[in-house]
Amino acid sequence: MRAFTGTFVKKNGETRTMSYARLEDLPTTFLNTQTTGTGNERTLEEGLELVWDLENNGFRIFNHNAVVGTVTEYTHVDSTIENWRTTENNS
């Protein structure tokens, strides 16, 4: 599993640092246990991405349009959510 850590400026002007996984990188079994509803996709503005916040254990929006610095990518030998902090790779 891949994970990322990045900082962005929120709409209210505060900065937020988030460690997250992209939905396509999450194990299907995990994602299926976290989603319910009608199955309709939400349309987001360009640069906004629905992600899984690894520290707060929930869906959040990451704003790529307001990134401060660089986003760091982490790659993992273990694909479980609980063990996401294993190997760091800068990207």
> For the chain, what are the domain ranges?
2-89
> pLDDT (tens digit, 9 = 90+) per residue, 22-48?
988 887 777 777 777 656 667 889 999
pTM of the model: 0.76
Q: How confident is the model at residue 67 (pLDDT cuts 50, 70, 90)?
A: very high
First to last CA, the chain: 15
Distance CA 13, CA 54 (A): 23
Question: Quick one: what percent of the chain has pLDDT higher than 70?
Answer: 76
